[in-house]
Amino acid sequence: MRAEKFTVISAGHGGGDVPATPKNVPHKGGDANPSAAALQAQFGPAIVRVDVINGETTVIVDRDKAHDIIQWLHDEPTHAYEYLSDVTAVEHRDSQRPIEIVWHLRSIKFRRFIRLKAMIVKGSALSICSIWDIYKGADWLERECYDMFGIQFVGHPDLRRILLWEQFKEGHPLRKDFPLRGRFSRSQQLENALAANPEARYSMEELSIVDAYEELPLDMRRRLLGGEKTGE
């Protein structure tokens, strides 16, 4: 088998600044991440706004251009955002405010962090391009965002629930219109959960773990029931 070659990235290798803990950082304003100005020059009106809050740069981008912008940040060697740390969403209680899709990108090479946001007006299609083709780490992150908010990531190879079971019928729990107790009564929730038949989606080896608990020594079962912590 031919050995694969990997590029070793050294933190701070691309920049001349010596790492230092920022001090007296203003709540608003301050110096923006240099990548923000580069994005404005490259994409013009697709960069809606640049905010600097607590020393972190947030770039609001056009929803339809989000994929191209993230691709450029990843591929452009003078910026090199090689690490995707999160994909999430924000829905505000104000019904007039759009839903925000949020990406957290890091350049290990240049020691930079940038937050990108795209806005989806409520009432429009809750969908946006997947960035799985750019960052394979987006796979489970986008699935969680879909599961909790119902956002469709177009182009994702396997977009399905990841925290809740696939037959979960009550919607998406992190939406603001989702009731605290769920949409169904407790009896209906139990009925739906039992009808989901979890045995159909797990191997006998996985299911046998539950049975194996009864075979553990009594002292070990007591420790587990007592909330044994790591290292004890």
Q: Please list the pLDDT of the chain residue by residue as tens digits (232 residues).
A: 455 566 666 666 565 567 677 788 888 988 999 999 999 999 999 999 999 999 999 999 999 999 999 999 999 999 999 999 999 999 999 989 999 999 999 999 999 999 999 999 988 999 999 999 999 999 999 999 999 999 999 999 999 999 988 878 888 999 998 877 777 777 777 777 777 665 555 555 555 655 666 667 787 777 777 765 544 3
Does residue 168 belong to any structural domain of this protein? yes
77 and 147 together in one domain? yes
Does residue 232 belong to any structural domain of this protein? no
Spatial separation of the C-alpha atoms in residues 127 and 8, rounded to whole Å = 35
Burial class of residue 89 in the structure, from the number of CB atoms within 10 Å of its CB (0-12 exposed, 13-18 middle, 19+ buried): buried
96 and 201 together in one domain? no
Per the confidence metrics, is the pTM higher than 0.95? no
Instruction: Answer with the one of 141, 159, 177 that is the final residue of a domain.
Output: 159
114 and 201 together in one domain? no
Contacts of 12 (CB under 8 A, 6+ apart): 19, 109, 110, 111
Instruction: Answer with the one of 159, 189, 216 that is the final residue of a domain.
Output: 159
48 and 76 together in one domain? yes
41 and 110 together in one domain? yes
144 and 53 together in one domain? yes
183 and 149 together in one domain? no
Does residue 64 belong to any structural domain of this protein? yes
Instruction: Answer with the one of 137, 159, 181 that is the final residue of a domain.
Output: 159
Cα angle at 58 between 56 and 59, to 5 degrees? 150
Residue among 108, 115, 114 nearest 82 (CA): 108
Does residue 2 belong to any structural domain of this protein? no
103 and 150 together in one domain? yes
DSSP 8-state class, residue 63? G
We report the CATH number of the domain holding residue 141 as: 3.30.460.80
Does residue 1 belong to any structural domain of this protein? no
* Residue 107, domain extent: 8-159
Does residue 3 belong to any structural domain of this protein? no
Does residue 205 belong to any structural domain of this protein? yes
85 and 105 together in one domain? yes
pLDDT score at 62:
98
